[in-house]
Amino acid sequence: MIKSKVKGKFRKQLLLPAEHGSWSWLLVPYLVGTAVAGVFNLATLLVLVGSLALFLLRQPVTVWLRIRQGRGRQSDAPIVRRLVMGLSAVALLCLLGLLVLGIAAVFWLALPVAGLLAVYVAAALGRQTSVRVLWMGLAGAAGLALTAPAAMIAATGQMTAVAWWLWGLLALLNVLGVLYVRLRLADSHGRPADRRPMLVAHLAGVGVVTAVAFTGHIPYLTILPFVALAGRALWAYPQPRPIPHIKKFGFTEVGVELACGLLLILAY
């Protein structure tokens, strides 16, 4: 009886994602979007709360689907159901709040958000629930960067070209971060890894951002963080680079993300 009660208790694994660095992929784009817009009001606060609710929703939904398939603890079912219902309610209330405030342009983001959620649900049903699967990690990282245009829409009331370009820049930063972190983790666990995709993606990122900057759609300073990340990729490419301290590495990655975000803010 005691064991059963322990199993049914709330555990952070039912709510918090295992990928701790993914928090920065959500929050830094939000900070950048808010700073570039130059406005922090009730609407931008609703975007933050709603985004966090959607971000946290993935883990209990995944656990719930595992339970439905007989691959999870049945004793966790009541807890995850309450989490799913509670977080969904918070996200819905935030959306309704934005509509009441007249921020109908937020529906521009409905399609990519729905697509991302569909990917996770499909993967869970297909027994591929871990976002460590590369294509899921990349899609998730790009999706989390949607908080940048969401914050700008909330601040200005409209979807602008700047908001779309900002999403593209931050999505690219997040994607490059995923590729770099995955390679370093593979090195740390002694797993063989193809190092070329990581390097090619970083160099291609510099090329694409530079080309777009020369067309006048984005500021020239936006090239700088991608050049810095490409330099880091060149350092990691020639040979395995095991991580000495995982926690320190995680904090370093958050710092890198923040520094890149600051450079984008300065660029705009």
Q: In b/e form, how buried is each residue of 48-63, taking b as 16+ CB within 10 angstroms?
A: bebbbbbbbbbbbbbb
Q: Work out the number of other CB atoms within 10 angstroms of the CB of residue 232.
A: 13
Q: Work out the number of other CB atoms within 10 angstroms of the CB of residue 20.
A: 14
Separation CA 17–CA 94 (nearest Å)? 22
DSSP state of 161: H
Separation CA 37–CA 94 (nearest Å)? 20
DSSP string, 209-250: HHHHHHTTSS-GGGHHHHHHHHHHHHHHSSS----S-HHHHH
Main-chain dihedrals φ then ψ at residue 108, nearest 5 degrees: -60, -30
> pLDDT averaged over the chain?
85
pLDDT category, 181, cuts 50, 70, 90?
very high
Q: Work out the number of other CB atoms within 10 angstroms of the CB of residue 179.
A: 22
Lowest mean pLDDT among 89-98, 123-132, 177-186: 123-132
Contact assessment for residue 85 and residue 144, using Cβ atoms and an 8 Å cutoff: no
Q: Give yes or no for residue 245 having a pLDDT over 80.
A: yes
User: What is the predicted pLDDT for the residue at 113?
Assistant: 72
Q: Give yes or no for residue 65 having a pLDDT over 70.
A: no
Pull the structure tokens for residue 230.
């490409």
Q: Give yes or no for residue 251 having a pLDDT over 90.
A: no
In the block, residue with structure tokens 């699967």: 133
Q: Give yes or no for residue 216 having a pLDDT over 60.
A: yes
Q: Give yes or no for residue 107 having a pLDDT over 80.
A: yes
In the block, residue with structure tokens 């660029």: 267
Q: What is the dihedral of CA 19, 20, 26, 29, to 10 degrees?
A: -120
Which residues, in sequence order, are CB contacts of 122 under 8 Å at separation 6+? none
Instruction: Identify which of 6, 49, 69 has the alpha carbon closest to the alpha carbon of residue 154.
Output: 49
User: What is the predicted pLDDT for the residue at 5?
Assistant: 44
User: What is the predicted pLDDT for the residue at 117?
Assistant: 67
Q: Give yes or no for residue 110 having a pLDDT over 80.
A: no
